[in-house]
Structure 1
């Protein structure tokens, strides 16, 4: 059997394992280890396992993962994330669809704390769904906006998606964080416009909320000011060149903990729960990365990336055409695979093609992360949809999927805008980091 044929059998085995719900990390590890053993030797596979595990464990850049996750978890336990929503609600809640737009803004703010889409959807779902239900919002809009708004967690920095992409592509985490700012704000704006258009066409979807007084607005803004200040300190520190991403994660987590202690909202029990959740999430990310590092050499030995690159080159398409084909493949995979799994599975295959075509890897990274977001609300997997379902068990799953459809289209439009105008993505990293 040729190496290429063995590689195809290996990928088929990998998808079969995933279909039987074997954890992603274990599936990639098994296929990568067996594949390396067959194409090279068991000794080489064991050597790669030991070396890659040690290399990953000693990567200082990965410290941002547990610290930013801890920052978001502490903010959730202490109620800081709710204050972001309360401030947005006080400012725009009275307009038609204002509560849904406030949820989008709250998701964007929480994204700048946690870097996790699942955490954003879960937290904002608990905070906002009951409120929207109380004021008569259609469940299709309320659940759809929470599921879609939660996806901002892996685009607006700090983003665990960018960290994993940076590790796999050996790119700068700081440049990727900078590149995600304007696309993240663009997507947030598109979501708010989507809410406005839906409520304009069908006013019953999002009735106007109660008007708040100036005193209530000031109190809500004042309550959110400390956590907004921490966001500006950490992210602004990276953009201003005062902190590296690793240092910023430590500063952000430290200040959130201090703020929780000063305000007496962070108990020992809450801190334990936040820490435990952060450890579990970090361990999951590390296992996925180790599995990816076992799979990458197997794919290289099988020549699948090389053969695919030659096939695409033979299509005689322009660079943008090949880029759109790769993004279309991501959109299809997003219907069946979890986001991080899709990223670590595809990068060894697609990234060599990106390098061969001279596509900017930072630009490509933002486009890929945006397609990962689209997968989070795409049927039948749609992780964020199931997260919202767990918060709103009485709402049928079909209703939630219909609710996210307009936001999925808004994401597709945003993706096409970013493909057509790369400067939106690259202007900040190119101007702030040489």
Structure 2
């Protein structure tokens, strides 16, 4: 009965628009008070914030957020888009495909999905519209390409999943590489099919010489350096994810300085923005820990795991139901909040069913990508709409084919776990 009251209280606060962190902290506190009174509640409130912030791996979050800020400041994302356009621009729909490639490249040097969507919206959409692309089609490509930052390392979503689930973050980040490549190819194939079906939405553009293509690669060298400073050092065993985050932030700062974009004012702005985002994420994690203590003491997770284990049905059907639940939650909630709220409950079930936690983490992050572009709260769609001043309904219609394509790739990743687990198994 206590659990039901607390869950209804949490749902009511979320519906009323209370911040997720505060809703979880308050509802968890109410539940703890109902369960054990003031002594238990006071003990947890005195220790939970410190134990959360004292986690060594939390350092990766501000460092990767700072890396993203310096990457945006340096203008490297613009160079990525221009280089990709030169190499594939002559193909019909090539500029849209270049946007997907630039989104993947930006994801490899930044863990922020909304930052990727904002950067791509300000760079690629004006170019596509100038070339005669249909606005709905162009906006949809940008919105879905921005989600790649959730999956391709360094991924804040995977880092948070690793912290919550107590799983090696290095394996999670490397596990996102191959699925990230597959999702990028899925976006490109979807673009090709849409253009083949209706050539009017994406006219052919000019061709480029070999000299122009080779010259464009000079600007991509900095991206390669940033990529190795994070993913390369983690995979090779040179650095832990926490150390790699510091190396990546430092390399991104040097990149901004090399491009002569770094000043005291711009550096302060980047530091402040990274700090604000980090505080928001930490606040959510603290609230989730208070709520998690309530679930632990009431043994809700154990009871659910025992109940599911007694069901006489295929574990794949249970997995399908869980993923469907993540899709529905993604329509209404922020993806980071979903991970923090659900992983403590769902992960024991996954382990009991015999699934790999690294594979499951990558799988639910790919599933969460869909929530970034679906109504009513698709964050990337809102970002693209703000930058382009186009109606939200138009953005959602443009991204709809990519949502269906994402569901196909989710099914493939679920059916073949080796796609995700192969690369982490080769790590040193």
Which residue number in structure 2 is paired with residue 236 of structure 1? 232
- Indicate the SS of the match to 2:312: coil
In the aligned structure 1, how far is the partner of 2:18 from the partner of 2:341? 15
- Asked if 1 retains the 8 angstrom alpha-carbon contact of 2:103 and 2:146, the reply is yes
- Indicate the SS of the match to 2:85: helix
Query: Is 1:52 the equivalent of 2:52?
Result: no
Which 10-residue stretch deviates more, 177-186 or 227-236?
Answer: 227-236
Which 10-residue stretch deviates more, 415-424 or 370-379?
Answer: 370-379
How far apart are 1:314 and its partner, in Å? 4.0
- 1:282-361 to structure 2, matched below 5 A, reads 282-361=278-357
- Asked if 2 retains the 8 angstrom alpha-carbon contact of 1:78 and 1:270, the reply is no
Query: Is 1:154 the equivalent of 2:150?
Result: yes
1:43-80: CA deviation from partner (whole Å, max 9, x where unpaired):
22222122221122121111111111111111111211
Which residue number in structure 1 is paired with residue 413 of structure 2? 418
- 1:26-425 to structure 2, matched below 5 A, reads 26-393=22-389, 395-425=390-420
Q: Pairwise CA RMSD of aligned residues?
A: 1.3
Which 10-residue stretch deviates more, 256-265 or 291-300?
Answer: 256-265
In the aligned structure 1, how far is the partner of 2:406 from the partner of 2:246? 32
- Asked if 2 retains the 8 angstrom alpha-carbon contact of 1:52 and 1:290, the reply is yes
How far apart are 1:113 and its partner, in Å? 1.3
In the aligned structure 2, how far is the partner of 1:25 from the partner of 1:232? 34
In the aligned structure 1, how far is the partner of 2:419 from the partner of 2:131? 37
In the aligned structure 2, how far is the partner of 1:216 from the partner of 1:49? 60
Which 10-residue stretch deviates more, 218-227 or 383-392?
Answer: 218-227
- Asked if 1 retains the 8 angstrom alpha-carbon contact of 2:52 and 2:289, the reply is no
Which 10-residue stretch deviates more, 166-175 or 375-384?
Answer: 375-384
- Which stretches in structure 2 are left out of the alignment for 5+ residues? none
- Asked if 1 retains the 8 angstrom alpha-carbon contact of 2:101 and 2:184, the reply is yes
TM-score (norm 1): 0.96
How far apart are 1:217 and its partner, in Å? 2.1
In the aligned structure 2, how far is the partner of 1:267 from the partner of 1:215? 34
- Asked if 2 retains the 8 angstrom alpha-carbon contact of 1:227 and 1:256, the reply is no
- Which stretches in structure 1 are left out of the alignment for 5+ residues? none
1:208-250: CA deviation from partner (whole Å, max 9, x where unpaired):
2222233332332111211222212321111111111111111
Which residue number in structure 1 is paired with residue 10 of structure 2? 14
Which residue number in structure 2 is paired with residue 427 of structure 1? 422
